[in-house]
Every structure is written in structure tokens, then in C-alpha cells.
Amino acid sequence: MLPFSLAAQFEPPASGGIVGLQQARQYLGHNMRVLVIGAHPDDEDTELLTVMSRRFGAEAAYLSLNRGEGGQNLIGPELGEALGILRTEELLAARRLDGARQYFTRAYDFGFSKTLDDTWSKWPRDTVLKDVVRIIRRFRPQVIVSVFSGTPRDGHGQHQAAGWAAREAFRVAGDSSVFPELAGEEGLAPFTPLKLYRSTRFDTASTTLRLDGSAVSPVTGKTYHQVAMESRSLHRSQDMGQLQAIGPSEVRLGLLEDRTGPGGGGFWDGIDTTWSAAAHDSTSIEWRDQAHRRKQAEQAERGELLDARAATAELPVGSATAGICESRANGSARPCAFIPVNGSAPFITDSTRESPGYHATFGRLRLEGVKPDEPYYLRHPRDGAMYRWDGAEIATRGLPFEPPRLAATLADGPATASSVPLRRFSYRWNDQSIGEQRLPVELVPAVDVSISPAELPWRRGARKSATFSITLRNATQDTIRGQVTLEVPAGWSTIRDSGVVLAPRARRVVRFVVRPPAAIGDTAVVLRAVFTGAARGGGSAEYRETRRVVNYPHIEPRGYLQPAEAHVVFLDLKLPPVRRIAYVRGAADGVPEALQAAGFPVEVIPGRDLTAATLARYQVLVIGPRAYEVDAELLERNDAVLDHARSGGRVVVQYQQYGFFFGNLAPWPLYVASRPPGSGDRPTVTSTPAGTSVPTGLLGGHDRVTDEGAAIIVKDPASPLLRVPNRITARDWDGWVQERGLYLARAWAPEYRTVIAMSDPGEAPLEGGLLIAPYGKGTYIYTGLAFFRQLPVGVPGAFRLFANLLTPGPAGR
């Protein structure tokens, strides 16, 4: 089964025309199946997938062990699970271009790991292997391509895990004694792939096969390399934009294992790819894929158009019925029944309208007893760094998301969720400036509950009470009466609201003042917002969740649910003695809001406002993580940043990537790079001002400390950064999340002073995580410490240390 149509879902209906017909036909009459296995969303060999799918008509797929939740986000605020949703949608957008499909395992991207052992300490090896074997037995590829080797030369421990899993799964997928429950519980019989290749795009010496990507596609009029680069450029959250160059381009592969016996060196040599050799059982994936492609071709050839619409983008569950409309235009003379596919929401036909070549059905969906839409892998809390698939349909496990619950198809018989091709229900409206716009229709909670602030750093002694706002949104057409409550820990006091009346489609904000007990023992507590309303048909229903939507122009919107909770962290924190702090926001940067919530006098300003007149109003200027990448005007006004320090201000720069270092944007030379294997001391850098060239051997890679509990070595105990206004102790390094730091400086001029050192297990200490230097009358600080991860989640020691960084002192102190 193809989990999603290859056509764009939220454009006006189109049959695909000649292009759709040709693309569908190229997959018919043969059986070629290839699975590419990597670790992360950006690891896939996009050109290989494009050549296989769009040139050879092979059923190609990419299996990513995780969804990239541990990375950074260049285009928005999403991190963690929300970032995983964004990157999953980016992969699906890429697959719609290159023609492949997408799979995942249960693994959660916990962040960078340097060794395979570190990865296996967080991902159960057998569980990952089982998930890879599951996809092989379901997808049944004759050829597997591993992106990685499974050895230390892959670098990232998760890359090594993907390489190992590909090799091991190739070995055991056909063994009935390995994971026999997949056959008994999921109907997945053992399957033996015939060839195993490894991508050698970075290892030409091991290349045994080259595939031409420079040929021009007769369907698109572009080279396959161009299509692949367009596909890869959809990884926008990862800064993966690519040029669509024409000219020579090749996919390089190295053959690792071949079960076909001696033969030619071609990719498909020795493999019977004829349709007569494929499984012709109507339940087999080969048969179903061919049926799907035939339906696509027939629809394009006959000029059949299909649309499925609702009057709103949100259908509230629990309501009696919701109106929908489906229409179909048939350019051929063949009569064709229109049958909606809507999972557990029964469809009631109200009326139909027919005219020559056109058929419309109007009806309602029963939404009582139906749950809201939510990614299946987020329905339960994770087990460490592994998602739980409890209750997910067998056929859903490993898919990006569940097949749409509100969809339609053209079919001659009863339609099911596996009918193809599907058209997901959408809501359309007209924007007079650009024309028709569409959103997918999703099932949502009848009442959405959110709480603000969701994260509150509470300085001990700074306040006696706090106000939380609970926003209720009624998604139904009914008036709902109920009670809103803020659940607080024992010993806390709160003013509780009386009854609430929510008008149809209305929003209501209720405020609660809470006061903790005089003696606060815990350092962190959770407050929970609840709305209890009358349910249709009697009784009551509780609502405890808020719905968020990940939505960007290059992807399909995707909603998910979060508990309506506020996390309060109590801090023993002294604020820096400054009146105003300027902050230039970086990528996925929630630091300024966290600082403001804790009482720091932070004001967010854009790069374009970095002028001498503006900065004169601030004692401290903070540059957010990767800000030089996401704010082009900051780069243009870097002289103003340096002038602020030169004239007596304090500048704190959080981690930046290569452009910052190689552009020589710091006041004194400062460089980042990986430690070469077996290297000793860092290279010497002279104290020439900014503008020096990069020392030889420092290009590429970067130092980082991935162990969030790594020991800290104090290099300068007298440094005010560790003493004023908060005395930093070993306890302040407890509770950090995901990593200590990244893009640590590897070489620096003698003007900089080191403050701390740290290292991952078995490695030499790295001193470039916190550097401070005088510049003119002021101070310049560079830190690779991952404050952007620590402060938004309320790590107490991170707040205390950051306050010290923002505290003015003598130049260079």
C-alpha cells in the first residue's frame, strides 16, 4: 500500500494529465524494489531515489531510523517532537518530488553521539533491528542500499547504528527464526533481499557501480539530478538548499553482498524483475502497488477529477454531525461511483446532484465517539529515546503518519483506507490577492485548552504569587457550559473560577492567581488546566489538551496535541545589575522569552536596529544561537556589535556555525574545527585583529560535548563569570539536557581567557566552550554552551551562569 498519494494534496483537483499518466505507467509491468537506509531525515541519497523511481520506474523507499528531533531548526521555533513532525513533513514533500516513499523506526533522535556504544545505550539494539526487519518484510525490496558503513568512519554514532542495522537486517530478514512474531502477529513473512550496496558518495575508492543522474527526464524536462536537488532543498529546517546544476552527475555505490551469484555488474543484474516473477497474490505489496499505479494511470487517462471538501478546516469530535461535500468530474463516458473513506466516522448521504460528466454528493459525518487526529507515535509518552506504537494499526507502524481518516477515492466497489488513490478532505477559501487556498481537514477536540505561561522560572523571594491565563476555544457550533480548573500541588492556593459558558466557535480566557506555600521544597512543579463541560447526550467530558500546528509554505500542515500544563521551576537566582539588555534572536531561539519570564530586562531587537544610537541604550548585547545565519542584517552590522564592546559594552555571542568563524566576525581570531585524530595541542593563533585568514587544517568539523552530564573542570576559579552575582558550583551543572555544548572554539588568540573545560568520556578536555576577552573598554564573550536548550526548559544552573555572563565588570572580566 502506498501510504499517501504522490499528487499534491492541497492544490485544486487535477487528473495529472500527460505527466501523471507517464509517471504512473513507468512503474507498470515489472517489479523493481529498492530500500535506502539511513539514520536521519537529511541522510537520504536523494539522487539515488530519484534515479530509481523517476528514471527506472522502481518502487523506491527511504527508511530513516529517526525523525531528526535532536537537531536545530533554521526556520522556526520547533524543537524536539515538534521538530520531528516538521522534518517528517519535509521528507514527505521531498518524496512527492522524487517519487519514493518514506518509513521510520521507533527511534527518537536524542542528539549527537560520538560512538556506537553511546547510541545503543539509548536505543535498544534489538528493537531498532526489528523495526528495520519489519519494513524489509513489508516492503520486500530486492536491493538494499545502506547510506553508512556501520563503522567509526561514519562519525555520528547514530550513523554507525544505521549502517549496522542495514547489514544485519539484510542478513536476518529472510530467517524465519528471527522475530517470528512479525509473521504471527503482523502477517509479515520472512523475505530475503538479494543485493546489499553502500553509498560511496564520500568514498570513491570503494565505488563499484556508477549510475548517471545527468540524463534529462522526458516527463519533467529536467535532469534527474535537478529533481533530486529540488527534493533535497525541501529540507529547509536543516539549511539544505541546493543548486540545480546541469551537467555530469553520478550516483556512486559499492557492492557489499550479492546473493544472485556471478553475473554482470549492473544494479539489477541477476535479479528477475519481470512482472511474471512477482507475487501475484492480491494481498501482496507488489500486486497492490501495481493496482495503485494502474488506478493513477486510468484516472489521468480518463481525465477524472476528484475533490473532497468540508466547510471548515477543523471538525470537532463529539459533535453530532458535520457537513461535508464531495464532487467528481469525469471527463470520460465511464460511469464511476464516488465513495468516501472516513475511518470510524460514518458517512451519511443527504443528497446527490448529477449532470453530464459531473457528480456531487452532500452529506454529514457522525463524529460522536471519535478521537481527535494525532500522530500515532505521539499518543503515548516515550520510553526513553524510543516511541511507543501501542494501539497503532499494524499496517501503520513505521509510516510517517496514519493514512488520512477523512479521505475519498474513485472506486467501482466498497472503499477502504487502502483504496487508491486517496483524496484527503480539505477546506478551501479565496484569497483575493493570490487566489484559491486550501488546508487539510482535521478532527480536533471540541474544546481546546491552553495555559500561559507554559514555562515559568520563579525566582525564590522575588514574588508571592503568579497569574496564569487559561484560554478555552470552542470548536463546535453548540454552546458549551462547564467548569475550568487549575490543578495545583498540595499546599498551593488558587482562586478558582465558577462556571464558564462557551458560545459557539468562541474563545474565552480565564485567569488564575496561584500562591505557593511559604516553604517551597520542590524545585519544579506542574500545574494542569482542565475544562469539564457537558457532553452531548448527557454526562460530562474533560478536556486537558491544546492543539498545535506545524505549518510552513513548503509542507502540509500537521496538528498535534500537548497536555495543557505549566511547568514552574524555582530558582535561587540573582539577576545581573543592568537596566536593559538587547537580544538579537537566533534560530529556534526561545532564550529571550525564558529570560524575560525570570525577570531579566531583555528586549528583542532585529539586526537592522544595531546602530550606535540604539545600542547606547543597552549595557549588554546578546547574540542568539546561529543568529548570523538567520538575520542577514546582523551580519551587515557586525561593526556595530564590535563597536558596542569597544566603547565599554558587554557582548555575549552564543554558538554560531562556520560562517561566523571563517568570516572573522569576532574581535580577535577565533576558530572552530574538529580535533584531528591523534592531535595534541591546539594550533597557535596570533593576536592579529579580526580579518586574519583561517589557519591551515582548521576547516571542517567542530568540537562538541554530547554528554549532558560531562564533568566540568574549572580553569579560572577567580573569574567573575563563575562568582558574580551567582556563585557557580558543581550543582549548577546538574540537570542539563541533551548536550553540554556545540561549536566549541578550537583555536583562539591569546586575548581570550578560558574559564572552564569539559569532555565526553575518554576524550581530552576541551577549553573552547566559554571564552572571554577584553576589547577596547568593554568585554566580548563567546560561548558554545547549549543555553538554547537549557533555558527554555528551566535548567536552574543555566539561568545562574547566564546571569553571570550578562553582568558587567572590568574589561575582559
For 313-339, how does the pLDDT look when each residue is reduced to its tens digit (9 = 90+)?
999 988 767 778 878 787 655 555 555
Instruction: Judge whether residue 678 has pLDDT over 60.
Output: no
* Residue 338, pLDDT score: 54
pLDDT grade for 348, boundaries at 50, 70 and 90: confident
Question: Contact, 284 vs 188, CB < 8 A?
Answer: no
For 447-473, how does the pLDDT look when each residue is reduced to its tens digit (9 = 90+)?
999 999 999 999 998 989 999 999 999
Least confident piece of the model among 179-183, 594-598, 684-688, 696-700: 696-700
Tell me the CATH number for domain 572-805.
3.40.50.880
Dihedral angle over CA of 499, 503, 506, 512, nearest 10: -10
| pLDDT per position as a tens digit, 222-277 | 999 999 999 999 999 998 999 999 999 999 999 999 999 876 789 999 999 999 88
Which of these ranges, 173-187, 393-407, 712-726, has the smallest mean pLDDT? 393-407
pLDDT in tens, 160-205: 999 999 999 999 999 999 999 999 999 999 999 999 999 998 888 8
DSSP string, 152-205: GGG-SHHHHHHHHHHHHHHHHTT-TTSSTHHHHHH-------SEEEEE-TT-GG
- Over residues 500-507, the mean pLDDT reads 95
At 677 the pLDDT is 37
Residues 6+ apart with CB under 8 A from 342: 365, 405, 406, 407
Contacts of 51 (CB under 8 A, 6+ apart): 211, 212, 213, 224, 228, 251
pLDDT band at 675 (very low <50, low <70, confident <90, very high): very low
Cα 559 off chain centre by: 13
pLDDT, position 340: 59
**For the domain 31-259, what is the CATH code?**
3.40.50.10320
Q: Are 131 and 402 in contact (CB under 8 A)?
A: no
How confident is the model over 613-630, as a mean pLDDT? 97
pLDDT reading at 703 higher than 50: yes
| Residue scoring higher pLDDT (806 or 340) | 806
Q: Do domains 445-570 and 572-805 have the same CATH topology?
A: no
Q: What percent of the chain has pLDDT over 70?
A: 91
Is a pLDDT exceeding 90 seen at residue 474?
yes
Taking residues 784-788, what's their average pLDDT? Answer: 98
449 exposed, middle or buried (CB, 10 Å; 0-12, 13-18, 19+)? buried
Nearest-angstrom CA–CA distance, 169 and 179: 11
The angle subtended at Cα 655 by Cα 678 and Cα 780, nearest 5°, is 105
Q: Where are the domains of the chain?
A: 31-259, 286-444, 445-570, 572-805
At residue 393 the predicted structure's pLDDT band, cuts being 50, 70 and 90, is confident
Per-residue confidence (pLDDT) for residue 387, from 0 to 100: 98
pTM above 0.75, yes or no: yes
pLDDT tens digits, 79-93: 999 999 999 999 999
pLDDT for 320 equals 65
* Under 8 Å between Cβ of 176 and 119: no
Average pLDDT over residues 769-781: 98
Look up cell 564520500; give the residue: 202
Interatomic CA distance for residues 173 and 273, integer angstroms: 20
Beta carbons of 251 and 213 less than 8 angstroms apart = yes
Question: Do the beta carbons of residue 60 and residue 100 sit within 8 Å?
Answer: yes
3-state secondary structure of 288: helix
Residue in the structure block whose three cell numbers are 561593526: 639
Cell numbers representing residue 269 in the block: 543484474
DSSP bridge partners of 467? 513
**pLDDT averaged over every residue in the chain:** 90
Specify the pLDDT at position 346.
64
686, pLDDT greater than 90: no
| 119 vs 518 pLDDT, higher one | 119
Name the CATH superfamily housing domain 445-570: Immunoglobulins (2.60.40.10)
Amino acid at 513: V
Q: How far, in Å, CA of 528 to CA of 532, rounded?
A: 13
Range picked from 375-379, 415-419, 681-685 for highest mean pLDDT: 375-379
What is the side-by-side order of every strand in the sheet holding 620-623?
602-604, 581-584, 620-623, 650-653, 778-783, 770-775, 753-754
Beta strand 565-571 with 545-550 is unpaired
Mean pLDDT, range 692-696, rounded to an integer? 41
- Span 347-355, average pLDDT: 77
Query: If pLDDT is split at 50, 70 and 90, which confidence band does 695 have?
Result: very low
Say which DSSP state 372 is in. Answer: P
Average pLDDT over residues 282-290: 89
